[in-house]
Amino acid sequence: MEYYNYIKSLHLIFVITWFAGLFYIPRLFVYQIEAFDKPEPDKSILGNQLKLMAKRLWFIITWPSAILATLFAIILLIMQPVWLQQGWMHVKLGFVILLIAYHLKTHHIFKQLQVDKVKYTSGQMRLWNEGSTLILFSVIFLVIVRNALDWIYGVIGIFALGILLMLGIKLYKKIRARNPDA
């Protein structure tokens, strides 16, 4: 138990850097998709630069952070096996599985864009960008309030956050339609 706080600190550091990558990569996807509508040579120059930025972010920060956050989480669970008997941890692990699925789908989108396959609109990628935000909010509130969480209010709160994010995206689209430089 002497190393517990060090392991926990490393887990949190890599969770933060993992989320940083997950927050930024869809934004790069938005820019890549929008670059496809530009005339040459802007299309090629922007496209190549954004692919390089995405590749570096994904393989130098996001993937290593995901692996290390998971590794340190497993070590923490080995050090504190009693957590696996608590309901809040089961729910948290469910969100972790959802986060891993989100990460893997994002990797799939990354691979498509690296070979110039555009299957999504920039608006869809803006919406996709909010997925990691919802997962992060869910996990943080769950871990902090644990058993005190009133599940009904918690679920309503997550849905309300999702609705607010979608309304914010719609508002941004309206503002951007009026002022394309926004």
Mention every residue, 6+ apart, whose C-beta is less than 8 A from residue 35: 42, 43, 46, 47, 50
Residue 180 token pair: 């394309």
Question: Per the annotation, does 11 bind a ligand?
Answer: yes
Q: Are 13 and 73 in contact (CB under 8 A)?
A: no
CB atoms within 10 A of CB 92: 18
Question: Per the annotation, does 8 bind a ligand?
Answer: no
Burial of 124 (0-12, 13-18, 19+ CB in 10 A): middle
Rounded Cα distance between 128 and 121, Å, is 10
Q: Are 51 and 153 in contact (CB under 8 A)?
A: no
Rounded Cα distance between 83 and 179, Å, is 51
Q: Which residues are annotated as a binding site for heme?
A: 11, 92
Output the known binding site.
11, 92
